[in-house]
Amino acid sequence: WLKPSRPKRWLLSSHSPRSQQPAVIMAQQFYDAEFKEGHVVKTVKDVEADKFITAFAQHLKRQGRFEIPKWADVVKTSKAKELPPNDPDWLYTRTASMVRKVYIRGGTGVGGFRKVYGGQFRRGTCTNVFCKSSGKIARYILQQLEEMGLVEQDENGGRKITKEGQRELDTVAVQAAEVEEEDEE
């Protein structure tokens, strides 16, 4: 009346789910490398996010058109944070990240960026709750990008990328991809 349960096959063999993970990762790497071989980078969407953001932050810093305010070294990025950012060039990095987000999905405004860069507000013994980030930082960055001519106000609300901004971001993306290829070789 009691049926003996069949032993799990993966318990008896070396085909356990944990031992398959490295094989799956290896397969994904070869699969990705196969399709990256003849791939030509033309836009921001073709480059990995972290590579583009670091390249565009360096580009902004070299250009010198982006003004760093005097409050940048003192300000916290959210009321949920205890300290300001450690990186002295954090505003360039945040700007590069925001302009990439506007490029990929236009129509995002200050409120949307507050939500994107928000995080958990730790309230001691109380439960953690979500907290939006600083609106002043997002507004300042978007205004600076408008002055530079990279973004413009959308008629439906939020900001969208301009033709000049799209051209500049695409050239930086191509340069970032070239640097990435040189590092691989």
Maximum distance among all alpha carbons in the chain? 81
**Rounded distance between C-alpha atoms, residue 81 and residue 7, angstroms:** 51
- Please give the structure tokens belonging to residue 28: 């994904």
Flag whether pLDDT at 37 surpasses 70. no
What was the pLDDT predicted at 18? 53
Indicate the pLDDT class of residue 20, thresholds 50, 70 and 90: low
Strand partners, 120: 130
Q: Give the pLDDT score at 17.
A: 53
The per-residue pLDDT of the chain, averaged, comes to 86
Write down the pLDDT at residue 157. Answer: 92
44-67 mean pLDDT:
93
Report the predicted TM-score, pTM, of the whole model to 2 decimal places: 0.78
User: pLDDT confidence of 182, banded at 50, 70, 90?
Assistant: confident
The helix (run of H) or strand (run of E) holding residue 120 is: strand 119-121
**103: closest CA among 161, 173, 167, 146?**
161
pLDDT band at 41 (very low <50, low <70, confident <90, very high): confident
User: Given this model, what pLDDT does residue 31 score?
Assistant: 66
Please return the burial class of 90, using the count of CB atoms within 10 Å of its CB with bins 0-12, 13-18 and 19+.
middle
CB atoms within 10 A of CB 161: 22
Which two structure tokens, joined as six digits, stand for 160? 């969208």
